[in-house]
A and B are shown apart, each in its own frame.
Chain A
């Protein structure tokens, strides 16, 4: 049976082949009508044309890439200048800074009303110090112990906020991501509006509440509202909603409890987002100025950001070093966690 079938097929194939060969009409092609010399000339011409076209395309691509690189490079330089500017100027001695930028600070908007003069002199933007000294750092760290003290204040304020907000936001975001009902969505929407609210809106009631709780003028007056801020909840929810439901169903089938699903699946999958968010939050709270100014009345509890925003005007001699030192923690965190940051940011916005 098998053999017969094979034979039959073979016959069919040969027949088909024969048909094709016999029935193909003779084609007078473009090439067969040409003589050998003509063919050669034609090929040569075509080849030259193709080469020219390719070259033009390559040049165009190169030009476009250079233009793109120039634009990207310019924006990169613009992005980096302030950082280099601060770090390089922090190595100038205070006399040199006074020389360079003293004029600037005499004409500040705040001072102009107090009879400061507008001078004709213009400062030069100096990136490289004439003489590299660590005078600024020395006077900053040894002469004024307040600086280190405030640095510590900043850390004590920021770390609990970031840690607390992460824990609470993970839980809340998991809830918002898994349990999607109409009322929950409405609540989530109100969370978004709260996230958008400037601090000034809830300024007075916050003040009253922390007074009632007896935490006014302690660090808790800043830490507690910070922990419950809804920014992290919003971002993490956006991220957690992308976890494929198949993962969760598979875990359920394998007998995982809800808590196990949360700790073994949701959290590890969100690792990069959590890192990114921690970095973003750290930077945000590292820079807060308004909250401590209003909620912490005693000077010695205030963080470095407040101190720095006041140092600018009075002592520009050490302002650059102070800024540079202040910039180091976020910058280190950024360099260390850059991969996570980029990945974490990237995935929050994509559906």
Chain B
């Protein structure tokens, strides 16, 4: 009864009549203001970006465009267009195939290992070991060691007459091998990569582990979840953004290790160490620019695909978490 009464009362209220012309004007004004505000915002933040964008265009985008152009030319001086000939030349090149295979296998080996070992180390330090912060800063130390010293040390340890060979010969009775010119070469470089980057990755994981809400872990423990269950159902969930970040940083660093390899072994290293950067460097010294640019473009596209895939996966997982 009452509700009916109310409704009827509500009906009696005369609706506010607005002149349609005035209404339209007001709406237009509002829209104008909105657009203006948006434009101002856009201009402001583009302004912040401008210095960086200009430099990036000049020193990174423009070079890539130039590469794209020369990759379709006969050579950098002869501007005759040859279609996809350069790409065919590069893709059928044995050296390029080997180099991309080596680079890929190294990345596929190094990135997961770096992520996994760093995570294990971080979890180890997070179990309440005494002196956690001391270990943390000690493990960060290798990052500071300059390339030249690293190269010197690795030479002392892993060359034919090096220290490691001395140890294996006297302790295990193995015959000596030149580590950097054997099938273990990639493992030696992998060791160097891990040695350099584990600390950084570990610090990232330590922070992420500390950020997991303890209430959730405790309640899971009360409900009888074991350590493994807790790790795979809870911790991994919270760690996933960090895992992606660490993977990307490790990928960056796995390309950077070329510097050490180059200084250790020169232009033409053992087969399994011949990386894409070697290929490009050698093409550069041989002045074969069209080959170089075709190779570079292919590498760019592949890298874009890999990073795109990583980001797509991350955003998928992100939306899962937010749900």
A246 CB within 8 Å of chain B = no
Report yes or no: A202 in contact with B67, Cβ–Cβ below 8 A: yes
B211 CB within 8 Å of chain A = yes
Set A78, A123, A200, A311: member contacting B161, Cβ < 8 A: A123
- In the bound complex, how far is the Cα of B127 from the Cα of A65, in angstroms? 8
Q: Nearest A residue to B45 by beta-carbon distance?
A: A179
User: Known contacts being A104-B161, A171-B48, is A205 close to B63, with CB within 8 Å?
Assistant: yes
Q: How far is the CB of A211 from the nearest CB of chain B, in Å?
A: 12
Report yes or no: B155 in contact with A105, Cβ–Cβ below 8 A: yes
Report yes or no: A104 in contact with B149, Cβ–Cβ below 8 A: no
CB neighbours of A191 from chain B (8 A): 56
- In the bound complex, how far is the Cα of B51 from the Cα of A278, in angstroms? 19
Q: Nearest A residue to B246 by beta-carbon distance?
A: A349
A63 CB within 8 Å of chain B = no
Report yes or no: B165 in contact with A122, Cβ–Cβ below 8 A: yes
A38 CB within 8 Å of chain B = no
Set A78, A104, A309, A322: member contacting B151, Cβ < 8 A: A309
- In the bound complex, how far is the Cα of B264 from the Cα of A112, in angstroms? 13
Report yes or no: B178 in contact with A330, Cβ–Cβ below 8 A: no
- In the bound complex, how far is the Cα of B314 from the Cα of A349, in angstroms? 13
B200 CB within 8 Å of chain A = yes
Report yes or no: A205 in contact with B155, Cβ–Cβ below 8 A: no
Set A72, A224, A228, A345: member contacting B52, Cβ < 8 A: A228
Report yes or no: B148 in contact with A323, Cβ–Cβ below 8 A: yes
Q: Nearest B residue to A101 by beta-carbon distance?
A: B156
Q: How far is the CB of B181 from the nearest CB of chain A, in Å?
A: 6
- The interface residues of chain A, by DSSP majority, are classed as helix
Q: How far is the CB of A258 from the nearest CB of chain B, in Å?
A: 6
B116 CB within 8 Å of chain A = no
- B180-203 CB contacts (< 8 Å) to partner A: 180-181, 195, 198-200, 203
Q: Chain B, interface size: which category? A: 35 or more
CB neighbours of B252 from chain A (8 A): 195-196, 231
Report yes or no: B56 in contact with A209, Cβ–Cβ below 8 A: no
B93 CB within 8 Å of chain A = no
User: Known contacts being A108-B159, A172-B48, is A205 close to B66, with CB within 8 Å?
Assistant: yes
Report yes or no: A327 in contact with B145, Cβ–Cβ below 8 A: yes
CB neighbours of A347 from chain B (8 A): 207
A204 CB within 8 Å of chain B = yes
Report yes or no: A79 in contact with B138, Cβ–Cβ below 8 A: yes
B234 CB within 8 Å of chain A = no
Q: How far is the CB of B7 from the nearest CB of chain A, in Å?
A: 40
Which one of A5-13, A46-54, A132-140, A282-290 contacts B? Answer: A282-290
Q: How far is the CB of A213 from the nearest CB of chain B, in Å?
A: 9
Contact mask A316-329 → B, CB, 8 Å, 1/0?
00011011101100
CB neighbours of A224 from chain B (8 A): 55, 59
Report yes or no: A289 in contact with B62, Cβ–Cβ below 8 A: no
Q: How far is the CB of B97 from the nearest CB of chain A, in Å?
A: 17
B313 CB within 8 Å of chain A = no
Report yes or no: A258 in contact with B59, Cβ–Cβ below 8 A: no
Report yes or no: A204 in contact with B159, Cβ–Cβ below 8 A: no
CB neighbours of A107 from chain B (8 A): 159-161, 178
Report yes or no: B129 in contact with A65, Cβ–Cβ below 8 A: yes
Report yes or no: B161 in contact with A209, Cβ–Cβ below 8 A: no
B231 CB within 8 Å of chain A = no
Report yes or no: A334 in contact with B153, Cβ–Cβ below 8 A: no
B16 CB within 8 Å of chain A = no
Report yes or no: A86 in contact with B160, Cβ–Cβ below 8 A: no
B140 CB within 8 Å of chain A = yes
A34 CB within 8 Å of chain B = no
Q: How far is the CB of B68 from the nearest CB of chain A, in Å?
A: 10
User: Known contacts being A121-B161, A123-B156, is A82 close to B149, with CB within 8 Å?
Assistant: yes
Counting chain A CB atoms within 10 Å of each CB, the highest count among B61, B76, B137 belongs to B137
CB neighbours of A65 from chain B (8 A): 127-130
Q: How far is the CB of A262 from the nearest CB of chain B, in Å?
A: 8
User: Known contacts being A202-B60, A204-B289, A258-B44, is A338 close to B255, with CB within 8 Å?
Assistant: no
User: Known contacts being A109-B266, A175-B48, A305-B146, is A350 close to B211, with CB within 8 Å?
Assistant: yes
Report yes or no: B59 in contact with A225, Cβ–Cβ below 8 A: yes
Report yes or no: B146 in contact with A330, Cβ–Cβ below 8 A: yes
Report yes or no: A79 in contact with B245, Cβ–Cβ below 8 A: no
Contact mask B204-215 → A, CB, 8 Å, 1/0?
111110010000
User: Known contacts being A122-B166, A334-B141, is A206 close to B280, with CB within 8 Å?
Assistant: no
Report yes or no: A112 in contact with B160, Cβ–Cβ below 8 A: yes
Q: Nearest B residue to A257 by beta-carbon distance?
A: B44
Report yes or no: A179 in contact with B56, Cβ–Cβ below 8 A: no
A103 CB within 8 Å of chain B = yes
Task: Give 9 nearest A-B pairs by CB, closest first.
Answer: A228-B55, A205-B63, A122-B166, A346-B207, A172-B52, A179-B45, A308-B148, A175-B48, A200-B280
Chain B residues engaging chain A, CB cutoff 8 angstroms: 41-42, 44-46, 48-49, 51-53, 55-56, 58-64, 66-67, 70, 76, 121, 124-125, 127-130, 133, 135-153, 155-156, 159-163, 165-166, 169-170, 176, 178, 180-181, 195, 198-200, 203-208, 211, 241-242, 245-246, 248, 251-252, 255-256, 258-259, 262-266, 269-270, 276-277, 280-281, 284, 289, 292-293, 296, 299-300, 303-304, 307-308, 311
Chain A residues engaging chain B, CB cutoff 8 angstroms: 64-65, 68-69, 71-72, 75-76, 78-80, 82-83, 85-86, 101, 103-110, 112, 118-119, 121-125, 168-169, 171-172, 174-176, 178-179, 187, 189-198, 200-206, 208-209, 224-225, 227-228, 230-231, 233, 238, 258, 262, 283, 286-287, 289-290, 294, 305, 308-309, 311-312, 319-320, 322-324, 326-327, 330-331, 334, 338, 341-342, 345-351
Residue pairs across A and B with Cβ atoms less than 8 A apart, 11 shown, are A83-B141, A107-B161, A107-B178, A122-B163, A171-B52, A196-B307, A200-B284, A204-B70, A289-B259, A311-B148, A350-B242
